[in-house]
Amino acid sequence: DLVKDEDLDIMQDLGAGNGGTVTKVWNKKRKCIMARKLILVDAKPSVRKQILRELQIMNDCSSPYIVGYYGCFPVDVHVGIVMEYMDATSLDHIYRNTGPVPIDMVGKVAEAVLRGLMYLYDVHRIIHRDIKPSNILANTAGDIKICDFGVSGELINSIANTFVGTSTYMSPERIQGAPYTIKSDVWSLGISLIELAHGRFPFSDSADEALDFDPDPTLSASTQRPTLSNKPGNPRGGARAMSILDLLQHIVNEPAPKLGTSRRDFPSEAVEFVRGCLDKDPSIRQSPQELLKSKWIVDSQVTKDQLKAWTRQVAPSDD
Ligand code: ATP
Ligand code: MG
């Protein structure tokens, strides 16, 4: 009953990252749209078999905050993973195309990610390891879900070779060699939330602040565009982005970034929440349980209908 590659007709490219490419596909058998990720795996057959075995854990992952999984299979030099298609795309695409995410919606993103992380950890003892806006997806039913978590140790090892390194959501303790814990995911969440609310990746030269999105409310979302020549949030390109080594050093040595700029204020509960995610000392940093009890999350007034309306507004139009 699991999906096979021959069931799938390619529709369009959805994007590519360090290790993979994602395609929108039509499942001829089940008559529905799905997303297929192809990961280039540089490993011998025994290791590839091991990866496919390890990925089976995803069969047992079922949560409203985790992107659905339909199957995996070898495709020549790749491993194919078929998952639920999320029609409002990833949060990085959303903010790059429509500008900063409204702070109330950022709160709903935070809640969904925390519930997804807690599900993975409490039920499967899995630590996500790669929380960032491109691994947080939304659909026009108003759901927000996480994907691309580290289920297969062998897969992590096999793509590490091709990784060109934007490990920029990495916590200070991870940079210094401490093992992953759920608290490292909390740090990555904090960085991601600032990026969504500001409309740009928080670590870069301070002069960049002037290049922030214009918060002028008379501009419609669709006409708001980043004024930075390199893509905001892309720490790789452009003269103003830090080199990866500078960035890692900065994360370890400088104070953690904060929500809010000199040009824009956010509710104090949101600022407080993000501060709780970004304590540099992981023993003081809040846990997902604690963060879910915080005022910002508990007092949120956003309804499912409002969330749905927002995802419809930011979803790419069909062409
Ligand atoms: P990295 O490889 O560094 O983790 P990434 O997350 O951007 O970066 P991919 O995981 O290959 O790279 O995803 C590429 C793009 O495909 C994402 O940015 C996202 O917009 C899109 N995408 C991924 N999964 C889905 C999905 N299930 N539904 C819709 N779009 C998706
Ligand atoms: Mg991804």
pLDDT of residue 239: 40
Whose alpha carbon is nearest atom 20 of ligand 1? 90
Mean pLDDT along residues 214-222? 41
> Which of 45-59, 104-118, 198-212, 238-252 shows the lowest mean pLDDT across its residues?
198-212
The tens digit of pLDDT for each residue in 123-143 reads 999 999 999 999 999 999 999
pLDDT at residue 170 tops 60:
yes
Mean pLDDT along residues 19-48? 93
pLDDT at residue 297 tops 90:
yes
Mean pLDDT along residues 64-71? 96
- The angle, 0 to 180 degrees and rounded to 10, between the axes of the packed helices 182-198 and 91-98 is 20
Residue 166: pLDDT band by 50, 70, 90 thresholds?
Answer: low
Q: Which residue has the higher pLDDT, 171 or 45?
A: 171
Whose alpha carbon is nearest atom 16 of ligand 1? 15
pLDDT of residue 167: 52
pLDDT of residue 216: 41
Whose alpha carbon is nearest atom 5 of ligand 1? 17
Q: Which residues belong to the active site?
A: 130
Instruction: Tell me the whole-structure pTM to 2 decimals.
Output: 0.89
Per DSSP, the three-state class of 36 is strand
Determine what percent of the chain is predicted with pLDDT higher than 70.
85
Per DSSP, the three-state class of 35 is strand
Q: Which two tokens stand for residue 243?
A: 């080199």
Residue 168 phi/psi, 5-degree rounding, is: -90, -5
CA of 133: how far to CAs of 7, 101, 216, 290, in Å?
30, 11, 24, 22
Residue pair 21/162 in contact by the 8 Å Cβ criterion:
no
pLDDT of residue 319: 61
Whether 123 lines ligand 1, by a CB cut-off of 6 Å, is: no
pLDDT at residue 222 tops 50:
no
Q: Which residue has the higher pLDDT, 153 or 103?
A: 103
pLDDT at residue 293 tops 70:
yes
Q: Which residue's structure tokens are 């999105």?
A: 213
Mutate to test the pocket of ligand 1, among 79, 89, 92, 140 (most ligand atoms within 8 A of CB): 89
Any idea what DSSP says for residue 60? G
The tens digit of pLDDT for each residue in 273-290 reads 999 999 999 999 999 999
Binding residues for ATP: 37
Q: Which two tokens stand for residue 245?
A: 């080594």
The tens digit of pLDDT for each residue in 93-126 reads 999 999 999 999 999 999 999 999 999 999 999 9
Mean pLDDT along residues 75-88? 94
Whether 33 lines ligand 1, by a CB cut-off of 6 Å, is: no
pLDDT of residue 157: 79
DSSP characters for 224-264? -----SSPTT-SSSSTTSPPHHHHHHHHHHSPPP-S-BTTB
Mean pLDDT along residues 195-221? 62
Amino acid at the residue 232: P
In the chain the first and final C-alpha atoms are separated, in Å, by: 31
pLDDT of residue 42: 81
Please choose, from the candidates 65, 98, 109, 64, the residue with its C-alpha nearest in 3D space to the C-alpha of residue 273. 109
Residue 68: pLDDT band by 50, 70, 90 thresholds?
Answer: very high
Residue 93 CA, closest ligand 1 atom number: 20
Q: Which residue's structure tokens are 């996500």?
A: 128
Average pLDDT of the chain to the nearest whole number: 87
> Which of 19-23, 57-61, 96-100, 259-263 shows the lowest mean pLDDT across its residues?
259-263
Residue 213: pLDDT band by 50, 70, 90 thresholds?
Answer: very low
Whether 135 lines ligand 1, by a CB cut-off of 6 Å, is: yes
Residue 138 phi/psi, 5-degree rounding, is: -130, 155
Length of the chain: 319
pLDDT of residue 160: 55
Mutate to test the pocket of ligand 1, among 21, 22, 163 (most ligand atoms within 8 A of CB): 22
Please choose, from the candidates 173, 158, 53, 166, the residue with its C-alpha nearest in 3D space to the C-alpha of residue 182. 173
Whether 150 lines ligand 1, by a CB cut-off of 6 Å, is: no
